[in-house]
Amino acid sequence: MPLVELKNICFSYNSSSKDETEFQLNDIHLTIDDGEFISVLGPNGSGKSTLLKVITGLLKPSRGEITLLGRNYRNLSRKSLARAIAFVPQSSLAIFPFSIYEIVMMGRTPYLNMFGYEKKEDHDRVMEAIEMVDIAHLKDKGINEVSGGEAQRAFIARAIVQEPKLILLDEPNSHLDIKHQLSVFNLIKSLNEKKGLTVLSVSHDLNLAGFYSSRIILMKQGGIIEDDKTDRILTKENIYKIFEVNSEVGIDKDSQRVNVVIKPGYEK
């Protein structure tokens, strides 16, 4: 049984529209199996972020059905979804002056009792996650007092303490320097391999997707164009079809992973 399955999903921000040309997602069929590491690639405006928001339940599809372990989303509580699916958005602007520690503790909300009391286990999980993403020295700092990259790591830690079955990452390497990009992806990959965490990550970085993913989905104009194993997806032909740029694609001799070099210039 798939972990998550989308059947005939369509979505429009204009809820009254029946015009398919206005759909941000159009006839999406997608199966996510337990333990997969999937990257979603595509140009701006192709529907990648909207897809994640529909899967997390933040947006309700105009048509179609989504199931979690065979159960329709309509029959699941918000708490049940929050225990199963964590979402790290592209940017998380903090309006209120919460500390890093408080932000991460919010990830434990689905496990708190009706009074919202935190147990020792909750605090232990929060500190463990904060240390995992290398921001323990910032735990008492306000989220508005740290850099964009440090804030991004806090929101990733918040997702980790939710202990989800599936984590949805919307450009998790945005705002991160190269060292912390690799650190975060290594951490997510480790959780994927050692703890069976299922990962669906939106990215613009073809090489990070090629290195860490076992499967890649290509999107354009609200639809899924290709969906297959990484080495079958990252080809010169597919990259040109989706991004309209020329590239060279090879296999890195050390990692045996796909390596993409984008050629300068634009050809129509």
- pLDDT, tens only, 43-90: 999 999 999 999 999 999 999 999 999 999 999 999 999 999 999 988
Share of the chain above pLDDT 70, in %: 93
Quickly list H helices, 42-119: 48-56, 78-84, 100-105
Mean pLDDT of the chain: 91
Residue 198 pLDDT: 98
Residue 216's nearest CA partner among 237, 235, 241 is 235
Q: What is the pLDDT of residues 194-236, one digit of tens each?
A: 989 999 999 999 999 999 999 999 999 999 999 999 999 999 9
The pLDDT score that the predictor gives to residue 228 is: 97
Measured CA to CA, the distance from residue 160 to residue 174 in angstroms comes to: 18
Cα(165)–Cα(35) distance, integer angstroms: 9
pLDDT in tens, 165-199: 999 999 988 878 898 889 889 999 999 999 899 99
Cα separation, 249 vs 98, in Å, equals 44
Selected residue with higher pLDDT from 19 and 64? 64
Query: What domains sit in the chain, N to C, each tagged with a CATH number?
Result: 4-262 (3.40.50.300)
Q: CA 90, 93, 98: angle at the middle one, nearest 5?
A: 125
CB environment 238-260: b (16+ within 10 A), e (fewer): bbeebbeeebebeeeeeeeebbb
Q: Contact at 8 Å (CB) between 106 and 122?
A: no
Query: Is the pLDDT score of 32 beyond 70?
Result: yes
For residue 267, pLDDT beyond 70:
no
- Strand 25-32 to 4-11 pairing: antiparallel
Instruction: Point out which residues pair with 228 in neighbouring strands.
Output: 216
pLDDT digits (tens, 9 = 90+) for 121-161: 999 999 999 999 999 999 999 998 998 888 889 999 999 99
C-beta atoms surrounding 217 within 10 Å: 24
CA nearest neighbour of 58 among 92, 24, 82: 82
